[in-house]
Amino acid sequence: MSLVTLLPFIVLIGAMFLMTRSAKKKQQQAADMRNQMQPGSGVRTIGGMYATVKEVSEDTVLLDAGPGVELLFAKNSIGAVLTDDEYNRIVHGIEHDLKSDTDVVPDDASSLTETDASADDAAASDGKSVDLGKKDATDEPADEPTVDAASAEAKTDEQPKKSDGGSEAK
């Protein structure tokens, strides 16, 4: 056989070797993570339940899922061992890593309306009117004629109304 006919088989065997090697590496990392568990660690099971490790034995883990709730799981059913900060953030909603120099987004719009109201009060106390984007009759240029409401209604009455394709269209 020539090298050209063996090349696809060699490439296939090489790809299989690389895939099994990476899978073994991931399994080893998961086993190391599970072996790092110790009482007091926060964990997430493969089913998505968050709990605290109470006891660790050879093949099983006793988890404290709440007051008076203790569950026995296989070590293989632990999906992730969480850091204390991550566990407290997810389970208890406690944030430890807030920085004082970063902007904090408020939960409601009260802080936004307070600053707008104080700006409006300041403008009103100066005696200046606040421009809301509306045009008054005095703001229009002199070369454009002003149209009152009565003449506008008369013009719309004079224009022929369009039909919806009834008998007039035939």
Per-residue pLDDT tens listing for the chain (170 residues): 688 888 888 999 999 988 888 888 888 888 888 888 889 889 999 999 999 999 998 889 999 988 889 999 998 889 888 888 888 888 878 775 555 555 666 667 666 665 555 555 555 555 666 667 766 655 555 555 555 555 555 555 555 556 566 555 55
Residue 165 to residue 39: CA distance in whole angstroms: 82
Q: What are phi and psi of 23, to 5 degrees?
A: -65, -40
> Which tokens hold the place of 92?
């208890």
Residues 93 and 82 sit within 8 Å (Cβ to Cβ): no
Which letter does DSSP use for residue 46 in this model? Answer: T
Distances in Å between the Cα of 57 and the Cα atoms of 34, 63, 74, 132, 146 are 11, 12, 10, 71, 89
Residues 82 and 44 sit within 8 Å (Cβ to Cβ): yes
Strand partners, 44: 50, 80
Q: The pTM is what?
A: 0.45
pLDDT at 83: 86
* Nearest CA-CA partner of 33 in 73, 105, 83, 93: 83
Residues 33 and 81 sit within 8 Å (Cβ to Cβ): yes
Q: How many Cβ atoms from other residues are within 10 Å of residue 65's Cβ?
A: 15
